[in-house]
Chains A and B, each alone.
Chain A
Amino acid sequence: MKEQIMEYASGNEMAAIAVKQIGYDLMGYYPITPSTQIAENLDIMRANGETDLVMVAAEGEHSAAGICYGASVAGGRVINATSANGLLYAIEQLPVQSGTRYPMVMNVVCRTVSGPLSIKGDHSDIMFILNAGWPILFASTVQQVYDFNIIALKLAEQVRLPVVVAYDGFFTSHQKGRCYRFKDDKDVRDYIGEKQEKYPFLDLNNPITVGSYMNEPDIINNRYQLHLAMEKAGELLPELFASFKELSGRGYGMVNGADCDDADSVLVLLGSSYDTSLDAIEEMRGEGKRVGVATLNVLRPFPSRELHNLIGKADNIMVADRQDSYGAAGGNLSLEVRATMQRYGCKANIKSVVYGLGGKDFFKEDAKAMLDMVKDSSTPDFSYYGVTPGMESEEEDSPLFEPVTREKTSINETKVEKVIDYGDTTENGEAVKVIGGSLNGVTAMPGRIAPGHGACPGCGIPVNLNLLLRGIEDPVVFLFQTGCGMIVTTAYPKTSFKVPYVHNLFQNGAATLSGVAEICYRKQQKGEIPPGDIIFIMVSGDGGLDIGMGSAIGTALRGHRLLIFEYDNGGYMNTGYQLSYSTPLGARSSTSHIGKEQYGKTFFHKDMPKIMAATGIPYVATVAESNPADFIKKAAKAAYYAKTTGTAYVKAISACPLNWNDKPATERKVIEAAVNSCYFPLYEVEQGVTRLSYDPEKTGKKIPVKDWLSMMGRTKHLQKEEYKDVVERLQKEIDRRYNELKARAK
């Protein structure tokens, strides 16, 4: 046995430790709760010089999977981690990875698949990839997360298949406990061995083609090879578990059980619930009940024989699924257990329940209840456990507000006039001019968003949304992409919205709203809904226009008439501030730590307005709450173009006191400094013509970017002499962009 040391850690921490000890070459990733901490912990180790792992923060999970694929093709040892919708977004890449037979390891930290959006744990994500051709190890404890990560890579390289290590989000990923790891990284590396490559891709003397165009009659042979590899994995795993036991003292089987031998009733479930059920079994045995519990350590290849050997003698089998294969009378686990038992001629009474969705806690008492239920003849073969019918109240639930109608929002304060040439002619000689829109006047605008939302004190998101909406006098329909703006306004059973609102995931906001707008026009045309302009507003922030950039650009290129509003808080704030592409260079985030080997974020902030302007849309503007009158006027203008011409894009820089680590009270000053440093210049591009809205050089208010950086905890370290070069590079880039902007401006 090799020497080990005790850790007090969570599943995500142990996964990161395993990755570091294995000595992977590259991690391609995109943060998604609850798997994010793996990358975060590795980033800390990177910053401290404990690992030289290359970490690539992709702009979405699809790209993350692509980066991993490329890196594994090129012969690297590659790791990824994701959850829920991230896994689904990457899913197209999974069969490519397995079909072309490139080993890698992906941790799937199981979480509920949206929608409605839930961030908590169940198995609805992992069951989507049963057919992907990846062996799947399922860890039910923190210790197993570490152990299986080590075994997984060895398996992957021996059968040349990518392997998933799955475990429960939060229950296993976040709960800390006692566990052990090898003291010496070398012991881990020796166990896994050298990577063998029969066809090295980067051997220029022996070029190979990867990813042929292949139809019948060949593809079935390729798939058969994959099938054989999976069979091989089933044969190899017991050996790998055995050799790992020699190393660690911890043995695993394909399946695992307690008290199953003489049990008349057995409960089968996956993950942390198995662990919890062990306590239940112990108590029930104490009461003289002959009960047992079983779980699978391996989901693919499905360990049929081993499972039958373990539980086949029981009279009653209750399978608890933490997801549903809707319409199939059970979740995937129970369907496969039923099939297995039938294959071996087992005549047990088998029932199944769906339980614990969306992270609903699983108590010891639940395990006991399930074991009692299976013996009760009145229990249906398949049912849901733990659902509630609801309770009707005697009292009338009358509305708290009047609907925000067209009449109510037409306050006649901010007026848009079409003008021909008002001094700085646009390309086609037309422009629009906004009159009115005073800060006092717009206080008459009824709120489309109700108070009581749950943003942090001093949050910039509602401030920016309110400024935008106060300049728009037509009715609005909202689409919010995932982000803090959405989370804090729509926590069920409450909503802040007093106007129609729909949420969709990061990647797809603008596209979804295009569909909404089309049907609105059609219904208006058919006379099914009243005529009149409606402003369709897509709200994105928290880096939503990284992963959602393609959809936004597509919408702009199609020229769909809607307003894309971005509140840019410079990070994925809704998930604990991982870097986004618009985080400033050098800023600290939970995926760009500061240490002897790392100074914070390593690349420049994205110039999204320029990207959007390049699509040729009629209106692009940047706004800041420090210039509220300008903000309101631009909102009115954007709404005008969004209803008459095509896509409008407005971007606000949005304060995040929590993660910028500054004072809520003084956020407007911080925003003002961002504007005055020209980090966030205020301008518009109207019908192709660029106009500066405010030039701090002319008002004598221009400040070096260093001054702005000094106002936030996330960038305070950049004041130090050792980071002088980082600040200089950022200043240079800001100057370059500003000079270019001035050159373009009329």
Chain B
Amino acid sequence: MEQIVECKSGLRDKLASGKDYYEIRLESIGGLGANLCGKMLGELGVKYLDVNSSNFSSYGSEKTGTPVKGFIRYCRKEKDIRVHYPVVEPDVLVIFHQALLKDKSVWKGCNKDTAVIIALEPGQEQADEIGCDAAEVYGLEAQRIAMETHSRINVVMLGAVLKIMGVEDITVGEQICKDTLGKKYPDALKGNLEGLRRGYEEVRQIKVKQSGVKKDINTGINRLSEWGYDNAPIGGINPRFGNTVIADLSPSRQGYIPLFIKEKCINCGLCHSTCPDMVFQFEKGQYKGRDMMVNKGLDYYHCKGCLRCVDVCPVNALVTGIEAEHSHKEYFMPNKELLRMPDYYEESGPDGYITSESYLTEKRMEGGEV
């Protein structure tokens, strides 16, 4: 594993070179705490780094599994931060989750000068594919560190970002954690400080199998006509009924899927009654010689991995599986009511809507349950 030799993307160097703003973009998924990470990075600037700073998140971000973007800007202390739009060309791009590597919007505005930090899966040593030609790519096994230190991935990533920003002394990071987490949760604080430190120490330059600007990571995304003032039905009317079906919600899953053991199934329909995502496909058939509706399989495009079905199945015909171990999903059956297969499926998480952070932030400080 390579060590960091030279960090060209340091905050001070870039600001000293006359750059107006030093900008960081966090790419995450709701529930990983990127919003709080962004806030700590921002607050750190004005409080301990002797620069001016500001931060905000993409709004509509708090639903579990939704893609979230965080934006942090730094500038010289004397300057006011007057721009209020998202970070377009980040100096540092921080990716909290592997599933995001495939998302084209994640790589927008990145170039060879962008430093990329990727949260790696446990045991992963290099990144498969990145969507820009960045020369500096860093990684760390953030989830593993978080689990081992009983901290959260956001503090681990915070540590990594501080390292890449060229912050020489991790104590400022510790200070901001203490300020944010307060004295209220001493146990959580201890773990988080450890996670922060390990993030700072363990981030390293990594190899990338393939890099470069991707044209169409989500292929076919523009195949349908795009609505504007010339062609959109008036009043925001939407006649494309049921078209959320083209959403591929697998990025919402947290590593687990329900597995179907058809031989055990008694076709009671309880799974169908508890599934929020219309995953179970029942068709007319025979069970034990009787005509009835029979469970044919699962539409994994729409399964968010909540595992409600596993919990209610009275005969263990549905069990929890680790998704990575099941690249071929048995009894995968796309929605049976479709007239035709969609031209493409669009990877997406749950829809965002603005939420407030206070209750959730507090919850996450406590270590969070969900």
Set of chain A residues within 8 Å of B270, measured between Cβ atoms: 439, 628
- B241 touching A178 by the CB < 8 A rule? no
A455 in contact with B350 given A657-B370, A713-B369 (CB within 8 Å): yes
Set of chain B residues within 8 Å of A442, measured between Cβ atoms: 269
Of B111-119, B187-195, B355-363, which binds chain A? B355-363
Q: Select one of A388, A397, A444 contacting B228, CB under 8 A.
A: A388
- A387 touching B64 by the CB < 8 A rule? no
- B55 touching A390 by the CB < 8 A rule? no
B276 near A: Cβ within 8 Å? yes
- B83 touching A390 by the CB < 8 A rule? no
Query: Chain A 42-60 against B: per-residue CB contact (8 Å), 1 yes, 0 no?
Result: 0010000000000000000
Set of chain B residues within 8 Å of A44, measured between Cβ atoms: 358
Q: Chain B's nearest CB lies how many Å from the CB of A34?
A: 6
Q: Select one of A498, A590, A664 contacting B356, CB under 8 A.
A: A590
Q: Chain B's nearest CB lies how many Å from the CB of A384?
A: 9
8 Å CB interface, A384-411 against B: 387-393, 395, 397-403
A456 in contact with B55 given A399-B241, A665-B307 (CB within 8 Å): no
Query: Chain A 477-502 against B: per-residue CB contact (8 Å), 1 yes, 0 no?
Result: 00000001001111111111111000
8 Å CB interface, A209-258 against B: none
CB-CB nearest in chain A for B311: A665
8 Å CB interface, B51-68 against A: 52-57, 59-60, 62-66
- B357 touching A576 by the CB < 8 A rule? yes
Query: Chain B 313-343 against A: per-residue CB contact (8 Å), 1 yes, 0 no?
Result: 0000000000000000000000101111011
- B269 touching A466 by the CB < 8 A rule? no
- A443 touching B282 by the CB < 8 A rule? yes
- A175 touching B274 by the CB < 8 A rule? no
Query: Chain A 440-479 against B: per-residue CB contact (8 Å), 1 yes, 0 no?
Result: 1111101101111111111111110011000000000000
Q: Chain A's nearest CB lies how many Å from the CB of B95?
A: 21
Set of chain B residues within 8 Å of A590, measured between Cβ atoms: 356, 358-360
- B228 touching A387 by the CB < 8 A rule? yes
A125 near B: Cβ within 8 Å? no
Tell me the bound Cα distance from A625 to B274 in angstroms.
8
A565 near B: Cβ within 8 Å? no
B155 near A: Cβ within 8 Å? no
Set of chain B residues within 8 Å of A577, measured between Cβ atoms: 355, 359-360
CB-CB nearest in chain A for B226: A391
Q: Select one of B85, B222, B273, B308 contacting A276, CB under 8 A.
A: B85
B207 near A: Cβ within 8 Å? no
Set of chain B residues within 8 Å of A488, measured between Cβ atoms: 350-351, 353
- A37 touching B356 by the CB < 8 A rule? yes
- B81 touching A177 by the CB < 8 A rule? yes
- A575 touching B355 by the CB < 8 A rule? yes
Q: Select one of A403, A451, A593, A628 contacting B299, CB under 8 A.
A: A451
B166 near A: Cβ within 8 Å? no
B277 near A: Cβ within 8 Å? yes
- B55 touching A175 by the CB < 8 A rule? yes
B10 near A: Cβ within 8 Å? no
Q: Chain A's nearest CB lies how many Å from the CB of B103?
A: 16
Q: Chain A's nearest CB lies how many Å from the CB of B44?
A: 9
- A388 touching B229 by the CB < 8 A rule? yes
> How many chain A residues have a CB neighbour from B under 8 Å?
112
- B231 touching A389 by the CB < 8 A rule? yes
- B351 touching A487 by the CB < 8 A rule? yes
Set of chain B residues within 8 Å of A438, measured between Cβ atoms: 269
Tell me the bound Cα distance from A416 to B325 in angstroms.
47
- A390 touching B232 by the CB < 8 A rule? yes
Set of chain B residues within 8 Å of A657, measured between Cβ atoms: 64, 306, 370
Of B1-9, B129-137, B210-218, B242-250, which binds chain A? B242-250
Tell me the bound Cα distance from A487 to B62 in angstroms.
13
- B293 touching A441 by the CB < 8 A rule? yes
Set of chain A residues within 8 Å of B243, measured between Cβ atoms: 400, 450, 452, 493-495
B96 near A: Cβ within 8 Å? no
Tell me the bound Cα distance from A628 to B253 in angstroms.
26
B16 near A: Cβ within 8 Å? no
- A40 touching B241 by the CB < 8 A rule? no
A532 near B: Cβ within 8 Å? no
- A489 touching B306 by the CB < 8 A rule? no
B139 near A: Cβ within 8 Å? no
- A452 touching B249 by the CB < 8 A rule? yes
Tell me the bound Cα distance from A36 to B356 in angstroms.
7
A495 in contact with B238 given A443-B269, A463-B276 (CB within 8 Å): yes
A307 near B: Cβ within 8 Å? no
Tell me the bound Cα distance from A660 to B360 in angstroms.
11
Of A100-108, A184-192, A356-364, which binds chain B? A356-364
A462 in contact with B356 given A451-B245, A664-B306 (CB within 8 Å): no
Size band of the interface chain B makes with A: 35 or more
Q: Select one of A120, A444, A665 contacting B308, CB under 8 A.
A: A665
- A458 touching B224 by the CB < 8 A rule? no
B272 near A: Cβ within 8 Å? yes
8 Å CB interface, A261-276 against B: 272-273, 275-276
- B84 touching A275 by the CB < 8 A rule? yes
- B358 touching A37 by the CB < 8 A rule? yes
CB-CB nearest in chain B for A13: B358
A400 in contact with B276 given A439-B269, A454-B350, A665-B310 (CB within 8 Å): no
8 Å CB interface, A137-191 against B: 168, 170-172, 174-178
Taking chain A's interface residues, is the majority helix, strand, or loop, or is none over half, making it mixed?
A: loop
- A443 touching B280 by the CB < 8 A rule? yes
8 Å CB interface, B29-75 against A: 39, 42-43, 46-47, 52-57, 59-60, 62-66
- A490 touching B276 by the CB < 8 A rule? no
Tell me the bound Cα distance from A589 to B310 in angstroms.
30
Q: Chain A's nearest CB lies how many Å from the CB of B129?
A: 26
8 Å CB interface, B69-111 against A: 81-86, 88
Tell me the bound Cα distance from A174 to B63 in angstroms.
18
CB-CB nearest in chain A for B355: A576
A119 near B: Cβ within 8 Å? yes
A352 near B: Cβ within 8 Å? no
Q: Select one of B246, B274, B370 contacting A452, CB under 8 A.
A: B246
- B276 touching A462 by the CB < 8 A rule? yes
Set of chain B residues within 8 Å of A390, measured between Cβ atoms: 225-232
B305 near A: Cβ within 8 Å? yes
- B225 touching A393 by the CB < 8 A rule? yes
B292 near A: Cβ within 8 Å? yes
Of A69-77, A602-610, A666-674, A695-703, which binds chain B? A666-674
CB-CB nearest in chain A for B276: A462
- A588 touching B359 by the CB < 8 A rule? yes
Set of chain B residues within 8 Å of A490, measured between Cβ atoms: 238
A575 in contact with B269 given A176-B54, A391-B226, A658-B63 (CB within 8 Å): no
- B337 touching A387 by the CB < 8 A rule? no
A116 near B: Cβ within 8 Å? yes
Set of chain B residues within 8 Å of A171, measured between Cβ atoms: 84
Q: Which 9 A-B pairs have the closest CB atoms?
A: A390-B228, A454-B351, A576-B355, A452-B244, A439-B269, A450-B242, A452-B247, A458-B306, A443-B282
What are 11 contact pairs spanning A and B, CB under 8 A?
Answer: A41-B358, A170-B59, A174-B56, A276-B84, A400-B246, A400-B342, A444-B284, A457-B65, A459-B276, A493-B238, A575-B356
11 further interface pairs, Cβ-Cβ under 8 Å (given A451-B335, A457-B350, A663-B369): A40-B356, A276-B85, A279-B83, A393-B225, A398-B340, A400-B245, A454-B352, A456-B63, A494-B243, A664-B307, A665-B307
Listed in ascending order, the chain A residues whose CB lies under 8 Å from chain B are 6, 8, 10, 33-34, 36-37, 40-41, 44, 115-116, 119-120, 168, 170-172, 174-178, 272-273, 275-276, 278-279, 361-364, 387-393, 395, 397-403, 438-444, 446-447, 449-463, 466-467, 484, 487-499, 574-578, 588-590, 593, 625, 628, 657-659, 661-669, 713
Listed in ascending order, the chain B residues whose CB lies under 8 Å from chain A are 20, 39, 42-43, 46-47, 52-57, 59-60, 62-66, 81-86, 88, 222-232, 235-236, 238, 240-247, 249, 252-254, 267-270, 272-280, 282, 284, 292-293, 299, 301-302, 304-308, 310-312, 335, 337-340, 342-343, 348-360, 362-363, 369-370
